[in-house]
Amino acid sequence: MKPKDVLGMAKEHGAVMVDLKFMDFVGTWQHFTVPVHELKEEIFEEGLGFDGSSIRGWAEIHASDMLVMPDPTTAVMDPFAKDLTLSVICTIADPITKEAYGRDPRNIALKAEKYLRSTGIADTAYFGPEAEFFVFDSVRFDNKVNGAFYEIGSGEAAWSTGREEEGGNRGYKIRHKEGYFPVAPLDSQNDLRTEMCLVLAAVGIEVERQHHEVATAGQAEIDFRFNTLVKCADQLSWFKHIVKNVAWRNGKTATFMPKPLFGDNGSGMHTHQSLWKNGKPLFAGDGYAGLSEMALHYIGGILKHARALAALCNPTTNSYKRLVPGFEAPVNLAYSSRNRSASIRIPMYSPSPKAKRLEFRSPDPSCNPYLAFAAQLMAGLDGVENKIDPGDPLDKDIYGLTPEELKDVPKMPGSLEEALDCLKKDHKFLLKGDVFTTDVIDTWIHLKTERELNAVRLRPHPMEFALYFDI
């Protein structure tokens, strides 16, 4: 779609406003809205100015003037606006030089695709994330000088069997870790997820399936078809926006927080990926699990840099409540066919070369998709370029192995602090082709340390009162 086509689309649908969306550094959509008469062909080249000083991780007040550069290929009608509104995803540019802004996550993802093409290894990287989430009836939380708490409400939850409910409590609550695929009335959110699927389709996202996930209290998964790196990150941004807003308009609340519940499964984002060139898949071959040598080297790169990737793919303190040895998330850095206890799995659903891919199972949906996908691609390419051997596959139930058997298997970091330290020590692979910059890495580490890690580290935890008050 070209700029003139976007203008035609706005006229055809009777749009009265244009919503300009862009991703902040941490990974949350931001936007501002202009009347449709501001939508002119030249804004796609010249951009529209705004103050970027309050955007997390971006420019300071003395260099805050920025431009949004609308991408005409992303234009859709907004599914939630009361008045007819055209929505366009933007990148960010410097108003003086017109160069792409270095801390804009979408620009970083675009540079990753450009770097891939420059290597000659492949021309396309496909990504397919499985972003799990929870839909609750309510949530309350507070953090004060003299107290802190959170409380989640869910009529579907195992803890609600004794709750007084309007019309009477009719039982049918999903027990802990028994939420995978039950039918109604246990699965109380099928219609809600279907509504989410229909809205996703309305903005051009091809849904493959939806279902309840393992945990109680409305854990869910909706899978959509894989796409090229930047387009997939765009779609995942829409996905999170749609899930949250459909839940909201139905009187519920959705979260992509990795571990909101103690004692039940957290939400991961298993990420499928493959490389193609000239329309042909490059990961199919006659090696282990039907993989090519390139695919095995790509796996070698992911495994080598996985601990540094954690800082971008598992970027919250809460992420490490999910990444715990012996629980549902794969923390042991190994690969295997079919084995879901390995951090990298090679799906074996189809013998078709086009279906050959790897699934990196450690990431979670709290990540910024542009940064997470770009970083995974750069790690995999480093493996291909340097022919990194991934070692032997681990075709066993890793959770059942003894500590002695696991002592030589590397593991994901156990905390955000450890992950940031790994990124600090291992990020040269991200700097190739100026995809990530030293400024981006330093800013990310600083932002995560000061605004998140220290915010949690400095506060007493309610569990500490239970453990230590009478010490």
Active site residues: 51, 130, 132, 213, 221, 270, 340, 359, 361
Cα–Cα nearest to 381, from 294, 311, 291: 294
Cα–Cα nearest to 67, from 100, 112, 34, 23: 100
Cα–Cα nearest to 124, from 422, 373, 368, 465: 373
Cα–Cα nearest to 174, from 143, 141, 215, 207: 215
Longest dimension (CA), the chain: 71
Show Cβ contacts of residue 125 under 8 Å, excluding neighbours closer than 6 positions. 112, 113, 116, 228, 229, 273, 274, 275, 276, 373, 377
How many whole angstroms separate alpha carbon 229 and alpha carbon 272? Answer: 11
Tokens representing residue 239 in the block:
């996905």
- 8 A C-beta contact, residue 81 and residue 17: yes
**Cα–Cα separations (whole angstroms), residue 32 to 55, 235, 346, 392:** 13, 19, 42, 51
How many whole angstroms separate alpha carbon 409 and alpha carbon 383? Answer: 19
How many whole angstroms separate alpha carbon 199 and alpha carbon 79? Answer: 7
- 8 A C-beta contact, residue 36 and residue 102: no
